[in-house]
A = this chain, B = another copy of it.
């Protein structure tokens, strides 16, 4: 029973770390984003269509650059799968991303892998070490904000 409980509790805390990542992303907040990561040479980040970024400096610089060039983003995760081991965990999901481009809400879908490591501090929190997001081909849907029939495609 203890094992089952602690596993459920671990899964919950991994999902909280994952939610903190998307919270920082939506807030376009570089400090909150840095707080999510391990900030070590182990950090690896792959933005959609980008090359590997390796280590704290490259990763955090990329977030600052993205935040400086983004005005609005909202995330809804679907197909979430969590796999928790002793001190590392992965979250796989679809990122449903809503942004506003020229007055239209644009919905895009990214396939995503997030990996967290448990901090070595006692009662350690889960720190992001990998974020990998990639576009899904032909996965883009434009949702019209004004009037109408809602002709999604």
Contact = CB atoms under 8 A, between A and B. Distances in A.
Given A88-B88, A88-B89, A92-B44, A49 B115 contact: no
A49 B89 contact: no
Interface in A101-153: 109, 111, 113, 115, 117-118, 129-130, 132, 134-137, 139-143
A79 interface: yes
B117 A83 contact: yes
Contacts of A83: 42, 88, 115, 117, 129-130
A56 to B, nearest CB: 13
Interface stretch (A21-29, A58-66, A68-76): A58-66
Given A88-B89, A115-B113, A51 B141 contact: yes
Contacts of A109: 51
Interface of A: 42, 44, 46, 48-54, 58, 61-62, 65, 79, 81, 83, 85-90, 92-94, 109, 111, 113, 115, 117-118, 129-130, 132, 134-137, 139-143
